[in-house]
Amino acid sequence: MTYKVTEEGNVSTVFLNGEIDMDVTEKAKEQILPLVEAGKEVHLNLKDVSYMDSSGISILIESHQKALELNTKVIIKEVSKSVLKVIMMAKLEQILNLE
């Protein structure tokens, strides 16, 4: 997994790339959660994520819940087909903010 973060006003966009699985879960959390905790609106761009397992999904849920607590948002954008399939199987499309 690789990532790039861009900032525009109070919005941080995290572009994730590659596979998000147990091996990189901590690294992804270390990038995403501090942005949420800083009160920013965080956009996660998943168009270049080829694979995501349940540990990756847990990051999406955890960051979403933290954003709700802090009265901000995590928006998941440009979800790749393979990741969208996992989100739909877990019935998370009704919970997460997908664009």
Return all residues near 83 (Cβ < 8 A) that are at least 6 apart: 46, 49, 51, 52, 56
pLDDT tens, 16-25?
999 999 999 9
- pLDDT, residue 45, reads 98
What pTM did the predictor assign? 0.94
Residue closest to 59 by CA, chosen among 72, 47, 42, 71: 42
- Facing residues of 12 across strands? 7, 42
- Give 39-95 pLDDT, tens digit per residue: 999 999 999 999 999 999 999 999 999 999 999 999 999 999 999 999 999 999 999
CA distances from 82 to 35, 61, 68, 98 (A): 26, 18, 26, 15
Rounded to whole angstroms, the Cα distance separating 37 from 28 reads: 14
> Can you say whether residue 17 is alpha, beta or left, with left for phi > 0 and alpha for psi between -120 and 50 degrees?
beta
pLDDT at residue 13, as a whole number: 98
For 2-98, CATH number? 3.30.750.24
What is the arithmetic mean of pLDDT over 25-39?
Answer: 95
pLDDT the model gives residue 23: 95
